[in-house]
Amino acid sequence: MESSDTGLALLPEIEVEERTKQKKQPRYHVILLDDNDHTYEYVIRMLMGLFGFGRHKAYGMACTVDKTGRVILLTTSREHAELKQQQVHAFGPDPLLDHCKGSMTAVLEPTEAE
């Protein structure tokens, strides 16, 4: 340590690292699209099974997708959103309808930038 003219000891300079701002991971909506090939019961069972929603919430979402043509099921990271989309697509046909050929459709959309 060096001393100054005032007799006080000078401390060595400390290097300060600039902290870089961590960039937030982009978020994505998992959106279920309406169709006429699945019953309310199928949609409710799928949402309860894949997303862990209670029956009341799943019913409300089934009503929304039926009335508006789409409903946001989840907003999450891209990787998790892709997994949930794949699970919706793999859920299979509605066993309550003979003419149902496959699963419902879910799409991913990025959220608005904050």
pLDDT digits (tens, 9 = 90+) for 13-57: 777 666 666 777 899 999 999 998 999 999 999 999 999 999 999
Ranges of each domain in the chain: 26-110
The CA-atom distances, in angstroms, between 25 and each of 80, 92, 110, 113 are 12, 31, 11, 11
The yes-or-no verdict on residue 114 having pLDDT over 60 is: no
Mean pLDDT to the nearest integer, 4-20? 67
pLDDT digits (tens, 9 = 90+) for 97-112: 999 989 999 999 999 7
The CA-atom distances, in angstroms, between 90 and each of 17, 36, 40, 81, 85 are 49, 18, 18, 14, 9
The yes-or-no verdict on residue 2 having pLDDT over 80 is: no
The predicted pLDDT at position 113 comes to 53
The model's pTM: 0.77
pLDDT digits (tens, 9 = 90+) for 49-80: 999 999 999 999 999 999 999 999 999 999 99
Question: How many Cβ atoms sit within 10 Å of the Cβ of residue 31?
Answer: 21
26-110 domain in CATH 3.30.1390.10?
Answer: yes
Question: What are 109's two structure tokens?
Answer: 């959309």
